[in-house]
Homo-oligomer: A and B are copies of this chain.
């Protein structure tokens, strides 16, 4: 089963306490697609400018990512420049140029319209909704958003949330969306808006999942060195949705295993700048880290 991903593709310049990388490939859809490509064929919907390096497109295609939904237009690709603080949970955006992404209108190629597994990465909820409308029979729909849309486009976002199965957001977004500081109360509110499952990303503390009355918490993988946190949340979503599409298992245990696969992918991408670590990543390394997650969390293990 393939996974449809819609979202941003970007060219980033990033500085962290451990170094710097200029003009590297970024964007939520890119990270998400790369992570998911370890699980299933990916169909990508995005917009890029005519400045986008063609060799990167070849690389993505080589990883089983279908780019027929990626529109190449006159103009520049979205460009983001950011700097992380010593506490890498905090970052400043130094520069943002939306480029051709400013009037992105996702149009699905005919061959994409039968997609059953869909991830709507963080873009305007109106565009996320328009992707859903173009699908014949979406089966499992995951969705991300951000503070900007929660504040500026709440009615559109709430209409969208009524139609998604899984919402994947961070703790700050969960608080803002729900108006509740406590994560359990926030989750209850968000689940009333529509999603059957809420995944709250908590950075170095991992992920907590709420589904009905069931709660599952998994820590982040304890790493000695985080080089660049960019894309961690998107790789989490890509690994999570990719595993769901690969296994077809959306049972409670299937969801939990997919959350661990998402955490595995997130733990790898932060080990180097941009998506470099994913370039050399193997299935064997993914399975090895999955087993490390089991031993990290197993109460009767050790």
Q: B205 touching A222 by the CB < 8 A rule? A: no
A272 to chain B, nearest CB (A): 16
Nearest B-chain residue to A187, judged by Cβ = B222
Q: Say whether A253 faces chain B, with CB atoms less than 8 Å apart.
A: yes
Q: B302 touching A253 by the CB < 8 A rule? A: yes
Roughly how many angstroms separate A302 CA and B185 CA in the complex, as a whole number?
Answer: 20
Residues in B neighbouring A206, C-beta threshold 8 A = 205, 217, 219
Q: Say whether A251 faces chain B, with CB atoms less than 8 Å apart.
A: yes
Within 8 A of B (CB), among A180-215: 181-185, 202, 204-206, 208, 214-215
Q: Would you call the interface of chain A mostly helix, strand, loop, or mixed?
A: mixed
Residues in B neighbouring A299, C-beta threshold 8 A = 218, 253, 256-257, 260, 293-294, 297
Residues in B neighbouring A218, C-beta threshold 8 A = 297, 299
Residues in B neighbouring A87, C-beta threshold 8 A = 181
Nearest B-chain residue to A211, judged by Cβ = B302
Q: Say whether A225 faces chain B, with CB atoms less than 8 Å apart.
A: yes
Q: B297 touching A217 by the CB < 8 A rule? A: yes
Known: A208-B219, A217-B297. A302 touches B225 (CB 8 A): no
Nearest B-chain residue to A252, judged by Cβ = B302
Known: A216-B296, A217-B297, A296-B215. A222 touches B302 (CB 8 A): no
How many chain copies? 2
Q: A219 touching B222 by the CB < 8 A rule? A: no
A226 to chain B, nearest CB (A): 8
List 20 other contacts, CB 8 Å, given A184-B223, A252-B301: A86-B181, A87-B181, A182-B225, A183-B222, A202-B205, A205-B205, A208-B219, A214-B295, A214-B302, A216-B297, A217-B297, A252-B302, A253-B300, A253-B301, A253-B302, A256-B299, A256-B300, A257-B300, A260-B299, A294-B299
A-B contacts, 16 listed (Cβ < 8 Å): A86-B181, A182-B223, A183-B204, A184-B222, A184-B224, A205-B205, A208-B219, A214-B302, A215-B296, A216-B301, A253-B299, A253-B302, A256-B300, A256-B302, A260-B299, A294-B299
